[in-house]
Structure 1
């Protein structure tokens, strides 16, 4: 156990990986899929999103107050799902989410998984996972 005196003096640390902003298991009901029955009613769709931030992210947040907002990401997905827009491919929606996330200069890369959990009884979900990185990084 650390003594009270030693706990006040913390060693400097170096990030071994980028800081990561996550949205895990965000469920929305949406019109999605290529089959005719998928156009008739909404179905549950699960989003898992991991955003790798730029080097020095924590310091930038402390210094500027700018950050990658998981609330903005959730709101983007929920607002789109609330429309009557039909998206044919989970790949399209995953790519659109990735593009939205990478509009933030503090996001260096993003992984997006979009899955439909209710398609097959024997599977927790089927869908796609993509990774995108900013072209300027």
Structure 2
């Protein structure tokens, strides 16, 4: 391998390692927010996390398509990337559990609110004793089972 190939591979590995570390850090912060039951804090930085995740996805796909682009990098740099990736995967699993828990809580709240609104409306009756249609509650509630 030429020295230029080694320098390029080393720079690419370090770039990927830094990207992985930054994305991992974002997911740790979001997980903490979800675990503290403050999803609004995670929502504040969601755009940044999505951008990092998109870059990570593209870069990972490029490396997967041609792993040789990293082969000239020193083993120590490649090991650092492997360790960063392992840490990322652990944090990603934690993040997924926190997001799922928040989704379940949110759906439970929505279902409770819908049930309360429905119970306060009473059951509809189409016609009254005089044969005239009863005036119904004009408020509408839409309920979608997905959060």
What's the TM-score once normalised by structure 2's chain length? 0.23
Structure with greater strand share of residues: 1
What's the TM-score once normalised by structure 1's chain length? 0.24
- Structure showing greater radius of gyration is 2
Greater relative contact order, per chain length (Cα 8 Å cut-off, separation 6+): 2
